[in-house]
Amino acid sequence: MYSIRPAVPDDASAIAEVNIASWRAAYKDLIPDGVLDELTVPVLSRRWLKEVATPDPPHARLVVVEDERGVTGFARFGPARDPDSIEERTTGELYGFYLHPDVWGRGAARALMDGILAELRDEGLEHVTLNVVAGNERARSFYEHLGWTLDKEAAPWFGARQFRYRKEL
């Protein structure tokens, strides 16, 4: 059974561990090895601690999904940042969505996504977007299975081609 809750300062290290494990599993051969090799728990823990204290952008939220073992994933979401979505004023954005590879395919991602989408719906938003690395077929398949549709090409990320996906709420 998974539960979703807002991240707190004590989660920073666990979020960093999930961040590193998920990036190394999902982005191997998609972004430069040097980027993945430089990820460390102390550095990322400081980043996530700062994000809990002072969200960037303002009004962004950081939530975790956990089970009996502790934090197994996290997501950041909030107001849309793309100019065309900002103009709509009815669109949110999923900035980051990561699960530890140990829980891939076990329902944690679905629980986390359902919680985020419900929260965005409750805010009165009508759409949500996210960017995904073009070669990340596992993530793309997951999003498409949940009804996300390919919207347009997005700006590259660490040199990797990306697509923006969109979902009606």
Question: Would the pLDDT of 87 be above 80?
Answer: no
> Over the stretch 114-130, which tens digit does the pLDDT of each residue have?
999 999 999 999 999 99
Whole-number pLDDT of residue 71: 98
Which domain CATH number covers 114?
3.40.630.30
> Over the stretch 125-146, which tens digit does the pLDDT of each residue have?
999 999 999 999 999 999 999 9
Range of the domain at 96: 3-168
Question: Would the pLDDT of 95 be above 80?
Answer: yes
Whole-number pLDDT of residue 63: 98
Least trusted range by pLDDT, from 45-54, 67-76, 85-94, 157-166: 85-94
Q: What gap in Å lies between CA 31 and CA 56, rounded to an integer?
A: 24
Q: To 10 degrees, what angle do helices 41-53 and 12-26 make?
A: 120
Query: Domain count of the chain?
Result: 1
To the nearest 5 percent, what fractions of the chain are helix, strand and coil? 40, 35, 25
Region 23-52: mean pLDDT is: 96
Whole-number pLDDT of residue 82: 84
